Amino acid sequence: MDKLKLIIKREFLAKVKNKSFIVMTILSPLLMVGLLLLIVFLNQKNSEEVRTVAFVDESNLLATVLEDTNATKYIDLTDLGIEEAKKQTEGNFYGLLFIKKSDSLINLSKGIQFYSEDTPSLNLLGSLENKLEKKIRNLKIEQLNFDLDKIKATETSVSIATENFAGEKSSKIGSILRMIAGGGFGYLIFMFIIIYGTSVMRSVIEEKTSRIIEVIISSVKPFQLMLGKILGNAFAGILQFIIWAISAGLLLTIITYVFGIETTSSGTAMGQINPEMIEQMHASSASELQVALQEIKNLPILTMFFSFIIYFIGGYLIYSSIYAAIGAAVDSETDTQQFMMPVMLPLIIAIYVGFSVIENPHGPIALAFSLFPLTSPIVMLMRIPFGVPWWQIITSMLLLIGTFILIVWFAAKIYRVGILMYGKKPTYKELYKWLKY
């Protein structure tokens, strides 16, 4: 036991003291934050830009909807006539909206054009279309002598409330939350396995190429060394993830603090335009927030937490021992390719299946891959937030543990033989032979 501790400590320190580890740990949150800041900054720059749109409204019916907003100003060039207005607009304004005179409201909608130097922004076009459609529709209603207010009163919005048979309410937000929770956990395991599995493999190869391996295994059992390596790397990885989580949280708070003030100020600016709408938005977002909170409470958090721990440990140990065996079988990292493919395949399948699982969490594909031990750590975790029967979770975990024992046993055998084999790239047939040594 003492030796295992020594090995874990050495592997941990070797990993943590490594320059690339330090750089990665410190730099990646900064990079992420920097990227985030850049996006926010660019977005703001974009929205700060004010576009001036000129218009010629020959019909004299629609100009009223073209009200100035923060992002867009409108200039009435109707008096100049379309040809002169085009000349004036070119080089001076963002674009020119031309509403052709027409005999009827029906034809009016067909004679609207937008002139601009470049392809105009889809957002702007969309909002213009929206405004004009609404206005023309209202005009038509008026022309038909319908009571506009009465028609408005018939407008209805339906949002279907869903509830399962046990009486738990759910909502779309809930589904999204579940997707995020499950997907996040699954993806975390995926990333961890790939990053730290490879790191275990590198460390095995390093011991082989530096020829220290025989000195060490004359003092400790090869299995102890392999296990110590796997655990040491895992602890380094957990430390890195914790540092990332803390720094990400810290930086996010700082960012929301800094930018939070700005959002409220722009919120009040918007409030001046249409106070009613804002109020409505607030009301709806408040209720949605409540629903979301309720949904978070409804998530099987305890199950998720414990199954995350079990699948994390099981999945990492299975894959990292395979990685260790690969490292032992080869002489250099360039030789690992042929063995990496079969390892990466189930992981990648798991992530892809994971996405379809979110669509259909209880389908046959979801069930199969959440039981299959090489994909279950990822797929089952993505399913659990949607509610999985206990027998499935338990079967999947038992399969995972069984496979884990089997694979670690095989990997340890290959490892034990492989670390003392130099100079040749083994085939699968040879690996099979090693199992019998």
Partner 1 sequence: MKHILTVENVSKNYGNFTALNNVSISVPKGSVFGLLGPNGAGKTSLIRIINQITLQDKGSIYLDGELLQPEHVHQIGYLPEERGLYKSMKVGDQALYLAQLKGLSKSDAKKKLKYWFEKFDINDWWDKKIQELSKGMAQKVQFIVTVLHTPKLLIFDEPFSGFDPINANLIKDEILKLRDEGATIIFSTHRMESVEELCDYIALIDKSKKILDGKLNDIKEEFKTNQFEVGLSCENKDLLLNEINSNFSTTKSDKISFNEDVRLIVDLKSTESSKDLIKFLNNKAQITHFTEIIPTANDIFLKAVANNG
Kindly identify the residues of this chain, within the stretch 2-31, that bind partner 1 according to CB under 8 A: 3, 6-7, 10, 14, 18
Q: Is 53 helix (H, G, I), strand (E, B) or coil?
A: strand
Rounded least distance, CB 204 to partner 1, Å? 13
Nearer to partner 1, 76 or 214 (CB): 214
Nearer to partner 1, 207 or 295 (CB): 207
> Distances in Å between the alpha carbon of 376 and those of 349, 359, 397, 398, 408?
11, 17, 8, 11, 17
Kindly identify the residues of this chain, within the stretch 342-401, that bind partner 1 according to CB under 8 A: none
Six token digits for residue 75? 């200039």
Six token digits for residue 6? 């020594």
Nearer to partner 1, 17 or 152 (CB): 17
Is 331 a binding residue for partner 1 by CB under 8 A? The answer is no
Nearer to partner 1, 211 or 297 (CB): 211
CA distance 313 to 24: 23
Pick the closest to residue 201 from 7, 415, 394, 430 (CA basis). 415
Question: How many residues interact with partner 1 (rule CB under 8 A)?
Answer: 26
Is 33 a binding residue for partner 1 by CB under 8 A? The answer is no
Nearer to partner 1, 327 or 385 (CB): 327
Total residue count of the chain as it appears in this document = 437
Q: What is the full DSSP assignment across 368-382?
A: HHHHSTTTHHHHHHH
Nearer to partner 1, 2 or 359 (CB): 2
Is 141 a binding residue for partner 1 by CB under 8 A? The answer is no
CB 14 within 8 A of CB 199: no
Kindly identify the residues of this chain, within the stretch 174-233, that bind partner 1 according to CB under 8 A: 206-207, 210-212, 214-222
State the binding string over 401-420 for partner 1 (x if CB under 8 A, else -). Answer: ---------------x---x
Six token digits for residue 161? 């409330």
Q: Give the CA-trace dihedral at 239, 243, 249, 255, to 10 degrees.
A: -160
Report the interface residues with partner 1, using CB under 8 A. Answer: 3, 6-7, 10, 14, 18, 206-207, 210-212, 214-222, 416, 420, 422, 433, 436-437
